[in-house]
Amino acid sequence: MLSCVVAIVEGVEVPVAGCDYPGTLRVFNAWFPDDEACLRYLAGLRWRSGFVCSLCGGERAWRMSKGRNLRCARCRVDHSVTAGTIFADTKLPLTTWFQAAWYLTGTKHGVSALGLQRLLGLGSYESAWALLHKLRRAMVRPGRDRLAGEVEVDETAIGPSKPGRLGRGTFLDRAIVAIAVEARPRGACGRIRLACIPNCSAPILTDFVCGAVAPGVVVYTDHWQGYGGLTAAGFVHEQTSIAASGDPAHVVMPRAHRVSSLLKRWLLGTHQGAARPHQLDYYLDEFTFRFNRRSSQQRGLLFYRLLEQAMQLDHVPLAAIVGGKP
Ligand SMILES: [Zn+2]
């Protein structure tokens, strides 16, 4: 399936609709009727230009009748298609994984664990929950580019605030999310990066900006002291005082504010506020994946990207997910 065409545009491999990924649910169902078909697809993602044996360089292999192995025709050593990926050691059929990935990427707002359990007829809520979290973990591309151009940076707190507190004082005892968003002309947003942070101190915020934004970029923030280290860290730092401007925060930092509102609405809507603070990072990964691909007309392309990234990742034991990110 994948072996048919991968177009090369200016040296970058671009997957072709209808050739590398399904465009509609009908095509999806026709492509992936059983685990055998799913495994063939994953093998295509693992060995894009055809199978090459890592031991002897042999280019021919055959599928073993049991398990998920290809056997090298030359040295007769077995190579697992899914070892080292999120599909390793799974008890669930690959068709279930594929369907979950399809629902997750095919809907505008995604799907909750309870929703997925009902859609796929899974035996337990826990299986649905673990499945979704493993796929979420694959939503962050390893080594992705940092934000460029001009970037707004701000923080927001998730969950109810205690009464009587003002400004960043309302962040106490709540999960804090740092937001970086590319500022495009006329108030438009480019790509975003989000991260859970333990507090709004200068070392933490400087670390976040260094990880999310390319060096030398213009970074807009408010006058919070936690942003004092950005010039020294190599950014062109533009501070806007909310008090001095006379505008409420959402006017001064309109894009960061919009991302914050959308994130909160999504957490409350799709997930009914079920995201626990120590697992919030995974939800942020999913939100970022969706937001940064929001203009994509090809839902099938998102499905392809998700599986492609899922094949690059190390297998994560469930205990690590339950405990949150390291
Ligand atoms: Zn070999």
Q: Say how many Å lie between the CA of residue 203 and the centre of ligand 1.
A: 50
Q: Tell me how far the alpha carbon of residue 71 lies from the centroid of ligand 1, in angstroms.
A: 8
List pLDDT tens digits, range 166-222. 777 777 778 899 999 999 999 899 999 999 999 999 999 999 999 999 999 999 999
Q: Higher confidence at residue 7 or residue 48?
A: 48
Task: State pLDDT tens for residues 250-259.
Answer: 567 899 999 9
Whether the per-residue pLDDT at 262 is higher than 50: the answer is: yes
Determine the distance separating the centroid of ligand 1 and the alpha carbon of 52, expressed in angstroms: 8
Higher pLDDT, 319 or 203: 203
Among 89, 92, 93, 68, residue whose Cα is nearest residue 78: 68
Which residues, including other chains, have CB under 8 Å from residue 207's CB and lie 6 or more apart?
none
Predicted local distance difference test score (pLDDT) of residue 38: 93
DSSP code string of 62-124: EE-SSTTEEEETTT--EEESSTTSTTTT--S-HHHHHHHHHHHHHSSS---HHHHHHHHT-S-
Cα 58 to middle of ligand 1, angstroms = 5
Spacing, Cα 79 to ligand 1 middle (Å): 9
Return the pLDDT at 151: 96
SS3 of 125, please? helix
Whether pLDDT at 8 is above 80: no
Beta bridge partners of 152: 181, 220
- Amino acid 62: pLDDT: 87
Q: What is the pTM of this model?
A: 0.80
pLDDT at 137: 83
| Closest residue by Cα to residue 80 from 57, 48, 51 | 51
